[in-house]
A and B are shown apart, each in its own frame.
Chain A
Amino acid sequence: MTNNGKPRTLFEKVWNAHIVRDQSDDSPAVLYIDLHLVHEVTSPQAFSMLRERDLRVRRPDQTIGTMDHSTPTTPRNDLGIIPVADVMAAKQLDTFTKNCDDFDIPMYALGDEHQGIVHVIGPEKGLTQPGMTIVCGDSHTSTHGAFGALAFGIGTSEVGHVLATQTLLQNKPKTMAVNVEGRLSDGVTAKDIILAIISRIGIGGGTGHVFEYRGEAIRSLGMEGRMTVCNMSIEGGARAGMVAPDDTTFEYIHGRQHAPSGADWDAAIANWRRLPTDDGAVFDKEITLRADELIPMITYGTNPGMGIPINAAVPTPEAETDFNRKIALDKALTYMDLQPGQKLLGKSIDVVFIGSCTNSRISDLRQAAQFIKGRQVADSVRMMVVPGSQQVKKQAESEGLDRIFREAGAEWREAGCSMCIAMNGDQLQPGQYAVSTSNRNFEGRQGKGGRTFLASPLTAAASAVAGAVTDPRTMLTGLN
């Protein structure tokens, strides 16, 4: 990587290292893609296009598939198989199997010991590494940026482009430094950081930008916390979010299936240490938050930017000066059936969902299990715990976390996207309220007519026990 003496950001280093053809007045840049993740929902039309044009997959060895979105998370039958009752989902999964077979793409089918949410298995298998370009037909591909990769979601036409050419046409985005200074207090987590960021900048605040999360609070997070933060970059409008790789990153990757080993490992580390943003590099935008001022966050509305500190009141439309925003707030509160100025604390809930590519990794489950151990889920609440992958499930079971959840009265499910996307049988009923660790509270996102409060696994667990929206800090006594 040449430098020419000009300080560069992490993003610029990764971008520049992948240019096949530079951006010009006539055309966007052509970017080389190191890793392409595919799943059953956004790929079928791309494979059809390949067949129509008699094209091959250029680099099946840089492509990997998994089933996650439309898969049920219901228990296995006596044969160890997870049955798919939905005829359309079954057809989509069969189509995906055939596509991956025909084009020689390795794929983890439903129930396979390595199957799981695409953004959980990439890092888990050591496929996600610093300095790479990673794409997937899913907007939460930003998750992989936690490793200092440039990772972003693409549409199905672009999935076809990458399958056929291993490249993408991209206009160079701008950069935005998101500094999170200071340390988090007890009971406040990575999820609260990202909900606070999005509530500050708004759901479109990062459009056209790539975020770099920086500062002491980010450095103090483990890899899974960094993934939670980067995961929701798209909810702030940014296609990608990145964290500079450091020893925490290297330690996580070391020894995983696809991680470099031996002399390659040393060489890789040496390269990765050159990736962090140079001193003096300039970002197009910059914002700063204080982690020590944060408390648990929760959303009240119908997009992830509508978030408040958990003890705050729901905003009042009359106080909103921008007309369009006032209308949006009115509409959101009507859908959520909430009153302006109302507190969410104590609001009765029907469902708690712990899972999704945001918060379904082992540390999320450990945190929730530790909280719930020796307590009971309220009778009025259905609590679902859905591990992000079969490997997370296996690890959790080896630690006895499944028993803790079951004894508390929660459901322990098979791996998948589950109630985050509500296209697989897991969904809210109309009018129900859920505290969910997922990433989107859009109208109907978790089931038609369902109402979602986004929060951390700790807040979700505390709310499950209380049967109502609860600040987990009030129940932390006695925990290690």
Chain B
Amino acid sequence: MEKLKHIHGRIVAIPVNDIDTDQIIPARFLKVTDKQGLGNAAFCDWRYLEDGETPNPDFILNKPEYRGASVLIAGDNFGCGSSREHAPWALLGAGFKAVISTDFADIFRNNALKNGLLPIIVDVDTQQQLFSLAEEDPGTAVSVDVEGQALTLPDGREVRFPLDGFSKYCLLNGVDQLGYLLALDDDVQAFESSNPQRVTTTA
């Protein structure tokens, strides 16, 4: 995982509540065995017309003025539904570095953080302000300081967002969480020796 300390990027808004991971990447794209190349599948059924190939000119991500946006502003409860980690893989593949919403589904949030895609929780007023800014001026950009947990809006206003210390450490240092768990092997062995195995699948 690459270090993530700052993000500066243009915003694009999909002001829809409860965007589920089936919309972020439909299940038919889950037959892969790696993480690469999923960017084209991001929001596939919204992005393309019925033939699945022709870009839908009305969908915001297809509008030329929003190309290259790296911060997605979304409606409430983003990422609900399936646990597929293909959702953050697809968003990263499509060039996003952060998603801003009032709320994220638990599994999506965990998955995003493990891949260096930053879920930023803001209050509803900030969300609505960003929706308006994105619509009025496609050139609108925001800055994010991961260390300071601060989102800076175009008017200079700074909005703080929550981020647990452990995830922050991993993002800033570009380390994944597995190394931490592997280093606890003695603790795991101690747990196993004092707690009987519950089931044996190989029996």
Q: Which residues of B contact A328 (CB under 8 A)?
A: 16-18, 75
Q: Which residues of B contact A63 (CB under 8 A)?
A: 201
Q: Is A21 in contact with B105, judged by CB distance below 8 angstroms?
A: no
Q: Is B181 in contact with A30, judged by CB distance below 8 angstroms?
A: yes
Q: Is A440 in contact with B81, judged by CB distance below 8 angstroms?
A: yes
Q: Is A35 in contact with B198, judged by CB distance below 8 angstroms?
A: yes
Which one, A69, A208, A444, contacts B106 given CB within 8 A? A208
Q: Is B114 in contact with A166, judged by CB distance below 8 angstroms?
A: no
B1 to chain A, nearest CB (A): 10
Q: Is B54 an interface residue (CB 8 A)?
A: no
* Chain B minimum-CB-distance residue to A328: B17
Q: Which of A84-92, A177-185, A311-319, A458-466 contacts B (4 or more CB under 8 A)?
A: A84-92
Q: Which residues of A contact B203 (CB under 8 A)?
A: 61, 258
Q: Is A139 in contact with B81, judged by CB distance below 8 angstroms?
A: yes
> Contacts A237-B80, A258-B200, A422-B28: A157 and B115 contacting too (C-beta < 8 A)?
yes
Q: Is B164 in contact with A28, judged by CB distance below 8 angstroms?
A: yes
Q: Which of B4-12, B82-90, B140-148, B151-159 contacts A (4 or more CB under 8 A)?
A: B82-90
Which one, B23, B82, B164, B198, contacts A171 given CB within 8 A? B164
Q: How many residues of A contact B (CB 8 A)?
A: 86
Q: Is B33 in contact with A204, judged by CB distance below 8 angstroms?
A: no
> Contacts A91-B33, A139-B81: A161 and B181 contacting too (C-beta < 8 A)?
yes
B29 to chain A, nearest CB (A): 8
* Chain B minimum-CB-distance residue to A104: B202
A303 to chain B, nearest CB (A): 5
Q: In the complex, A4→B177 CA distance in Å?
A: 33
* Chain A minimum-CB-distance residue to B124: A324
Q: Is B28 in contact with A423, judged by CB distance below 8 angstroms?
A: yes
**Interface of A, helix, strand, loop or mixed by DSSP:** loop
**Interface of B, helix, strand, loop or mixed by DSSP:** loop
Taken residue by residue from 96 to 134, chain B's Cβ proximity to chain A (1 for < 8 Å, 0 otherwise) reads as 000000010111001100110000000000000000000
Q: Is A34 in contact with B181, judged by CB distance below 8 angstroms?
A: no
Q: Is A155 in contact with B181, judged by CB distance below 8 angstroms?
A: no
Q: Is A443 in contact with B28, judged by CB distance below 8 angstroms?
A: no
Taken residue by residue from 430 to 445, chain A's Cβ proximity to chain B (1 for < 8 Å, 0 otherwise) reads as 1000000000101111
Q: How many residues of B contact A (CB 8 A)?
A: 60
Q: Is A32 an interface residue (CB 8 A)?
A: yes
> Contacts A62-B200, A169-B166: A32 and B20 contacting too (C-beta < 8 A)?
no
Q: In the complex, A279→B145 CA distance in Å?
A: 47
Q: In the complex, A443→B45 CA distance in Å?
A: 9
Q: Is B31 in contact with A423, judged by CB distance below 8 angstroms?
A: yes
Q: In the complex, A284→B191 CA distance in Å?
A: 29
A384 to chain B, nearest CB (A): 17
> Contacts A28-B166, A86-B31: A237 and B181 contacting too (C-beta < 8 A)?
no
Q: In the complex, A62→B192 CA distance in Å?
A: 12
User: Can you offer 9 A-B residue contacts whose CB atoms are under 8 A?
Assistant: A30-B187, A42-B30, A44-B34, A61-B202, A92-B31, A204-B105, A258-B201, A442-B22, A449-B50
Q: Which residues of B contact A (CB under 8 A)?
A: 15-18, 20, 22-23, 26-28, 30-35, 45, 50, 52, 75-77, 80-85, 103, 105-107, 110-111, 114-115, 164-166, 169, 176-178, 180-182, 184-185, 187-188, 191-192, 195, 197-203
